[in-house]
Amino acid sequence: MKFDTPAGTNPIDQMKVVGKAHNRIDGALKTAGMAPYAYEHHDAVNNAAYGSIVGAGIAKGRIRAMDLSAARRAPGVVAIVTAENAGTLGKGMFNTVKLLGGPEVDHYHQAIALVVAETFEQARAAASLVKVDYAESEGRFDLKAEQSRAIVPENDGAGGRPDTDTGDFAAAFQASPVTLDATYTTPAQSHAAMEPHASMAAWQDGKLTVWTSNQMIDWTRTDLATTLGMQKEDIRLLSPFIGGGFGGKLFLRADAVLAALGAREARRPVKVAMPRPLVPNNTTHRPATIQRIRIGASRDGKITAFGHETLNGNQPGGSMEPAVVQSRFLYAGANRMTRNRLAVMDLPEGNAMRAPGEAPGLMALEVAMDEMAEKLGIDPVEFRILNDTQVDPEHPDRPFSLRQLARCLRDGAERFGWNRRNATPASVRDGRWLVGMGVAAAFRNNLNLPSGARVRLRGDGTLIVETDMTDIGTGSYTIIAQTAAEMLGLRLDQVTVRLGDSAYPVSAGSGGQFGANSATSGVYAACVKLREQVAQRLGFNASDTVFADGEVRAGNRVARLRDGAQEGEIVAEDRIEWGDLSRTYQQSTFGAHFVEVAVDSFTGETRVRRMLAVCAAGRILNPQTARSQVIGAMTMGVGGALMEELALDHRRGFFVNHDLAGYEVPVHADIPHQDVIFLDEADEKVSPMKAKGIGELGLCGVGAAVANAVYNATGVRIRDYPVTLDKYLDRLPAVS
């Protein structure tokens, strides 16, 4: 099915199952500990061995020699894999550097060996006995120091042009009566998913099966085949349950490759779970950014010039953190400029982390908008609404498919009690606490990918849905079941969903906020085909049939749905493909975040008191799971604003705080009451589901709203994240 015209009325519009709050159908398995994750498929293989990864102890250089003798003699050791015995390995399309290093070392903790033993403890102990002699080279580790040598990347990291120009930014900025020119920095951040990267691999008759924690089954299967020099059809990848990913598991990583190589060398199944300290340096992270924002405006608050420049570092051949993406669409203004620059560095690979681009970009942009509003003497909410637009600012002939940013801001301001905010910083006290409110707009582009599914109607009237879509804790099982139930007129408990298996049709996968809308649209397409086959078997005209309450109806005729499959199971398969509507209309999601904080006037400790998110993201397929995604994203935003930072050793080129003891993330005690509002909208130009993504929008802008609230509370403006007390303690108002 090709979606190339706006969706008219269709079966999803019944909203009997879709759009309703439902508990996650996989929830019972997870809460009971019965959902098998990648490392836990104990019944799938016999006699599994355990692999322990040896990570490089330098950030740049080469291995002169590797002494494996003590490790080989260690108790329980079955095999050792290094670049010398692994054979010729390729590099997948989505990997920036080799996943098994040697003799060259590209970054700290790059995998250079796998020790396989009978038990996990034996493998880990033996791995510690591997002795490596390095020839260390000088590396490039400091983003500021590399700024002057930055290059123009091939694209902006999101597939667009690296630089854009509309009108005459320089002249307009110089002529603007009110201007802002400020630089903001965001640090490197780690995904810190609850489940570490883990895989189990088994070979049989030259074919490979890998159970792995991965968000994108087909991408990873393809890149694993490229890496191992195999036919893709000879690999089966399974990932039915994932304990968090946030973009860190979008691509093939070392755990899957080494599990496959270890199993081949040991001639038995091998499990590899990456220890937590290896994850930040070995896998991927969100790169640090340096962003310069310039805004010019007339005295009445209309933006006349807008410029956003960003820099991040990555390995040679690596991509941008597309931090200017939202700035090309969010606010009006005729004279515009955006720039992307990339510093080639020798740090671990930077890549996608939840809301790549918009998350760090809005942390800068929305503070700049607050600063500009203050200069103009305009309320921050009204300043944003004043510069709202219904067309793409860089291409004014291209309207938004549906844009309710102004309503998000107005509704949020009313719900949050924004009119009680004192615009004078450091003027509200609650005992020893300085209290402030902050706001930020939220923006995330809508993305759609082709996605397929197979549906099976059985003789008992139940339905099976099969697709290689994954569930990273977001509720994919549930919304897919809801879609199929709505299309066939069934109850939710009459639908069985099977996910995360490369034997199923290729889906969009989970990532980039494209998963829910794309995957359910693929299920929609397959169900349309199944409805046609059922109608044909029952002798109905497919265009006139109604599927409801387990029945098929047309005119005065009624038949049971199950009767269509009495002669045998009916199977239908299709995929959704996308036409040019995304080119004709700018498709985006919008929101507004409101935050109240309190800062201890003596110690500088910051406490978030309450939070509100208002989201406009098309049809909400399941308000319950959608809310869970948004409050999780808001929590992540608090972490990004106040505590999350990979501390970099600029001499040795590695992230020092590479575990959850040193890399701080929010805990329950850090998070106050969270409120979420979804605007009622259905965007017919984006998909037959009329939905968009929501999981990343909830993060976009949160950090800036927190930072703006801290400023309103203290009068101290922080432009370098995270907003830690050492950056403002000495500038707090005097304690009376």
Active site residues: 696
Is the Cβ–Cβ distance between 511 and 216 less than 8 Å?
yes
φ/ψ of residue 702, rounded to 5 = -60, -45
Report the candidate in 230, 283, 174, 226 with the shortest Cα–Cα distance to residue 655. 283
CA distances to 16, 492, 645, 694 from 196, in Å? 38, 32, 19, 24
Outline where 236-357 has alpha helix (H).
254-266, 279-282
Helix 623-642 and helix 358-376, axial crossing angle in degrees, nearest 10: 70
| End-to-end alpha carbon distance in the chain | 69
φ/ψ of residue 573, rounded to 5 = -140, 140
Report the candidate in 458, 439, 454, 446 with the shortest Cα–Cα distance to residue 614. 439
Report the candidate in 461, 450, 402 with the shortest Cα–Cα distance to residue 690. 402
Q: Where are the beta strands (DSSP E) in 401-544?
A: 429-430, 433-445, 451-457, 463-466, 495-498
Which residue carries 């038990």 as its tokens? 119
Which residue carries 């950030």 as its tokens? 59
Strand 546-548, strand 395-399: pairing: unpaired
> Cβ neighbours of residue 535 under 8 Å, at least 6 residues apart?
541, 542, 545, 552, 554
Is the Cβ–Cβ distance between 597 and 435 less than 8 Å?
yes
Report the candidate in 591, 569, 547 with the shortest Cα–Cα distance to residue 457. 569
CA gap 570, 566 in Å, rounded: 9
Is the Cβ–Cβ distance between 272 and 79 less than 8 Å?
no
